[in-house]
Structure 1
Amino acid sequence: MSFADLGLIPELLRAVDDSGYTEPTPIQQQAIPVVLAGQDVMGGAQTGTGKTASFTLPLLQKLSRWANTSASPARHPVRALILTPTRELAMQVYESVQSYGKHLPLRASCIYGGVDMNPQIAELRTGVEVVVATPGRLLDHVQQRTINLGQVEILVLDEADRMLDMGFIPDIRRILALLPAQRQSLLFSATFSEEIKKLADTMLRSPQLIEVARRNTVSETIKHMVHPVPTAVKRELLAHLLTNENLNQVLVFVSTKFGCSRLARHLEREGLTADAIHGDKNQQQRTEALEKFKNGDIRVLVATDVAARGLDIDDLPCVVNFELPPNPEDYVHRIGRTGRAGKQGYAISLVAPEESQRLGAIERMIKLKITQEVVPGFGTDATPETLRRNRRPPR
């Protein structure tokens, strides 16, 4: 099947071709015709499945039927609203809208927190049809009356399960109350909890359920490995693996913002190029760290779960769980950064004895017994002192 078979207009087909894509992914094959037909969608899809194009392409096509070339801001009301949980994901979805819509006379804007509102206000005042936003900053604009949602025709809620994890559902409900009742709504989520189903019931009308993979499953192209290790020597083991294994681009997940920065500094002291990305970093710092990682200027990016979704990094070979997440679903989201589009990926977890229950919960959910391998010298009796002693050159 080609993109032309999905009923896309020539302007979008040109943009898809410019992007280098030739065949639609399974979710694109299923979702695009349904969205074009005007149906609501409840989509079950993990990152890396081509989900973003599955809603941006038909959304742009529907808006293009009544596209306006007038310079008057009043002739460009907000007609499509895409909500995402994080700034990084908002920027990536916005880039997708810009890329696919470049041959269409449609305007788009991306609004998120952590940066000055004034440039966003100025852009919104020029008139934009498509707004990609994080919930909190969108409500800031609503409160300041710098955005009008009264003419929204299409609503997209991306990564709804992450919205739930981050406590955004009350904000989502407030936003839903501001939108026209007559609209098309699309909800995408990697997992469907009872809370997500309740939200879907309130925002979707007779939705078409589209799932491209079993719920809570991981890509078969990912190799999993657990290295049992005491918590006290995890930093030393990570540095050892990065130094001695052929790991050239590694995304490392930690649990806390403090631990994130601390680990990045430790790796730098060990002679490894590293940076940290977490919620306390401002937007410019986060963007610069991600760009350095993508460009190969740094080898290791240490991240909290704020970066677990939406980071679009091509060909990322390896993800390391420095600490296992308390929610097994987050393991799936974290390692979903690697093994994408049929390529081989590697997921390494450094697991302390006190994390054994978390490991068991992950294995039960993904229905896989993960291979465990003790790295010589880093077994259960290893301590920072013994490692330092072993590293000292003989007299």
Structure 2
Amino acid sequence: MTSIKRKYDVDPTDPIQEPNPKKPLVFHDNQAPEIEPDIKQFSSDQRLALSEEPICVVCGKYGEYINDETNQDVCSLQCKEINTDLNSHRRLKKKKQPVEIIGHVQDYVASNIHAKLTNYQEPLSIATQSKQLVSQMLQAHEVEVKGSHVPKPFSTFDQLSSILGDTLLKNIESLGWSMATGIQRQAVTVGLAGRDIMAIAPTHSGKTAAFLIPILVHCMSLSTQDDYKRRSGPYALIMAPTREICNQIETVCKRLASGLRNIRTCLLIGGEPLPNQLFRLKKGSQIIIGTPGRLLDVVTHHPKLLRVWNIRMLVLDEVDAMFSLGFGTQVKQILGKFPESTIRQTFYFSATFQDKAMDGLVKRLKQPVELKVSQQADILPETTNLVRQTVLWVENKSKAKKLFSILDNPKYFVVPILIFVGSRLGSEFLTRAIKKKRTNLRVVAMHGDKSQEERSLIIKGINQSEPAWDIIVSTDILARGIDLPTVKLVINYDMTTTLDDYVHRIGRAVLKDNKMGWSITFINNEHQHLFEPFVKMLATKSIAQVTPLPTQLKRYL
């Protein structure tokens, strides 16, 4: 056993002896083969601190001992172990007798460091829920739960206000979230407890917030422990199969993290300059979001920047899509870079776990909580009948060529044309390409980096009786909430990540007087996770509303 100092040297046989803080009693490895009965092994064995008594730097209970390696107050051997690990840049090479981190204040809390720091305890409104009420709530939201010592679900985010803090709660409310979705009700509390999660949930069920909210809470705990050092971390890694999904996750993450001290994101995806991303890593980021290809490149060639040994939380989003798109080998190679000595929290989110290739991932989980949301909860959105929809199978490398062939065809070229792309950088690059190839066209890029004045001028130019622009290349900033009555053709150069976003985009082509507009969408294997629901949605339309589908999609009819 590692040594630990008691704060006071007191003779228990002398009832009148006063404590002497100058002589700490030290117990060494060679003094006793077993733990002394009066030395607390676990935090749960220790009492709360009284007024003016020292408190444990890890959990806040009575700091009965001094950690001989950090000279800080701790309450037990368990907190001594955590305190030493958090204050060391590397583990001691000396082999120590393992002390299993169990017996937390609540049996549903995991044994990893950030779970201990966050110390999630169910608020009274959640803790007092009866088993019958919990069962009825989960059943009403079609959520199945498997696992031992599962934290109780919640209903509204303000129930978790004491854990989330004012800033994060305000950010959640600013997104229009108050009542949690089915997957969020259970996954958030499980995540706050630091437990591993394996969740099967349909697209657009709220799973992004289900893992981002607990991750942000844990990142705040770890950042506080590290004195808010900019280069501390990264604490969390989120992996998704496509750039569009990664962009969407980072957008939500930034909005949730707004105003939180020392919480920064870094996006590692293909199609964008690597030096810019490496610079972001070097400056310091606590949450990494990326695609398997770019992540594998960075972790292989720039390991000192990504520093996977610091990562405490790992999220694999759309796991089934990653394997079906052929990224399974890359995912396993990335996970192979993680040191086995670090206790991590892992989240797996997928539409299905039927692929045998994913069995190895499931075995990595430690006492996971399994969540399943009924697929029936995912109701297909309804597209407008006032837009004729054309879907074309176009590989990424052929997109530009196909776009120019459409622009050169008088059948389609009716200005103004609205082209949707997946990123701000993509908007700028495509705008420059069109200007270079078609110098006679008036083309403008529209995205979130534009000033409010620039945005207003662009929208005003679109809506003039004689439009100021022939082509507008935009991110989803123009997909909803803005009236664009003159747009006759919408081109989805980059397909959306959800069907709801698709419906909003093509709705931009609805014309005045109920005249039919047109939408053209490029799609390929990168969007395979949408194929089945997308085809089912289009199948409800008449031939006049949807042109014949590509051969690759017809098998889903």
> Considering the TM-score relative to the shorter chain, is it more than 0.5?
yes
Q: Secondary structure at the match of 1:155?
A: strand
1:269 aligned counterpart, secondary structure: coil
* 1:276 CA drift (Å): 6.4
2:492 aligns with 302
- Give unmatched runs, 5+ long, in structure 1: 225-241, 340-344, 364-395
Partner of 1:313: 501
Q: Which one-letter code corresponds to 2:283 in the other structure?
A: T
Q: Which residue of 1 aligns with 2:403?
A: 261
Shift of residue 331 of structure 1? 2.4
Secondary structure at 1:66's aligned position in 2? Answer: helix
SS at match of 1:43: strand
State the SS of the aligned residue for 1:211. strand
Following the alignment from structure 1 to structure 2, what is the Cα–Cα distance between the partners of residues 174 and 71?
Answer: 31
Matched ranges for 1:294-373 at <5 A: 294=479, 299-303=489-493, 307=495, 309=497, 313=501, 316=504, 330-332=530-532, 334=534, 349-351=546-548, 359=554, 362=556
1:133-282 maps to which residues of 2 (within 5 A)?
A: 133-145=290-302, 146-181=305-340, 182-195=343-356, 197-214=358-375, 219-223=378-382, 246-247=386-387, 253-257=391-395, 258=398, 261=403, 264-265=406-407, 266=409, 268-270=412-414, 273-275=417-419, 277=421, 282=426
Amino acid at match of 1:213: S
Deviation by residue 1:305-361 (Cα, 9 ceiling, x = unmatched)? xx353687396276989799899864235479x89xxxxx98965446x95x965x5
Tell me the residue number matched to 2:63.
none
The separation in 1 between residues aligned to 2:334 and 2:296, in whole angstroms, is 7
3-state SS in 2 of match to 1:82: strand
Q: Specify which of 193, 198, 205 is matched with residue 42 of structure 1.
A: 198
For the residue of structure 2 that corresponds to 1:206, the secondary structure is coil
Native 8 Å contact 2:493 2:522 kept in 1: no
Q: Is the Cα–Cα contact under 8 Å of residues 321 and 349 in structure 1 kept in the other structure? A: no
- How many angstroms apart in 2 are the aligned matches of 1:246 and 1:78? 48
Instruction: Find the counterpart in structure 2 of residue 107 from structure 1.
Output: 264
SS at match of 1:110: strand
1:192 counterpart SS class = coil
Equivalent residue, structure 2, for 1:290:
475
Question: Aligned Cα RMSD in Å?
Answer: 3.9
Change (3 A) 1:303 1:322: closer
Post-superposition offset of 1:222? 3.4
Letter in structure 1 aligned against 2:186: Q
* Residues 1:335 and 1:289: Cα distance change in structure 2 (over 3 Å): farther
Over alpha carbons, which structure has the higher Rg?
Answer: 2
Distance 1:330 1:155, change over 3 A: same
Counterpart among 282, 292, 297 of residue 125 in structure 1: 282
Given the superposition, is the C-alpha separation of residues 12 and 83 from structure 1 closer, same or farther in structure 2, using an over 3 Å criterion?
same
Q: CA 1:321 to 1:160, structure 2 compared with 1: closer, same or farther past 3 Å?
A: farther
Amino acid at match of 1:39: R
Name which of structure 1's ranges 188-197 and 158-167 shifts more when overlaid on structure 2: 188-197
Judge conservation of contact 2:492–2:521 (CA < 8 Å) in 1: no
Q: Which of 94, 108, 130 is the matching residue for 2:250?
A: 94
Q: Distance in 2 between matches of 1:301 and 1:218?
A: 30
Alpha-carbon offset, residue 144 of structure 1: 2.8
SS of equivalent to 1:275: strand
SS at match of 2:238: strand
CA apart distance, 1:166: 2.4
Aligned partners of 1:168 and 1:155: how far apart in 2?
17
Match of 2:239 in 1: 83
Letter in 1 for 2:413: R
* Cα deviation digits, residues 160-184 of structure 1 (max 9, x gap): 1221232211110011111243211
2:171 equivalent in structure 1: 15
Distance 2:365 2:294 in 1: 24
Q: Does 1:5 align with 2:159?
A: yes
Offset, 1:58: 0.8
Q: Which has the higher contact order (CA 8 A, sep 6+)?
A: 1
Contact 1:92 1:312 in 2 (8 A): no
Q: CA deviation at 1:285?
A: 4.1
* Counterpart contact for 1:264–1:274, Cα < 8 Å: no
Deviates more, 1:201-210 or 1:76-85: 201-210
Compared with structure 1, are the counterparts of its residues 147 and 48 closer, same or farther at alpha carbon in structure 2 (3 Å cutoff)? same
Contact 1:324 1:358 in 2 (8 A): no
Q: Structure 1 residues 32-41 or 97-106, which shifts more? A: 97-106
Cα offset, 1:191, TM superposition = 2.9
Query: Structure 1: which amino acid aligns with 2:348?
Result: L
Q: SS at the partner of 2:202?
A: coil
Residue 135 of structure 1 and its aligned partner are, at CA, apart by 1.5
SS at match of 2:321: helix
Q: Is the 8 A contact 1:252 1:300 kept in 2?
A: no
Contact 1:89 1:310 in 2 (8 A): no
Conservation of the 8 A alpha-carbon contact between 2:266 and 2:289: yes
CA separation in 2, counterparts of 1:81 and 1:21?
A: 24
Aligned mates of 2:420, 2:172 — CA distance in 1: 33
Q: Map Cα deviations across residues 113-132 of structure 1 (whole Å, 9 max, x no partner).
A: 21222222222112211111
- The DSSP-based 3-state class of the residue aligned with 2:185 is helix
Task: Output the TM-score relative to the length of structure 2.
Answer: 0.51
User: Is the 1:15–1:100 Cα contact (8 Å) retained in structure 2?
Assistant: yes
In structure 2, relative to structure 1, the CA distance for the partners of 1:102 and 1:335 (3 Å cut) is farther
CA distance in structure 1 between the aligned counterparts of 2:222 and 2:522, rounded to whole angstroms: 50
Count matched residues: 327
**1:167 partner amino acid:** G
* Counterpart AA for 2:351: A
1:55 deviation in Å? 0.5
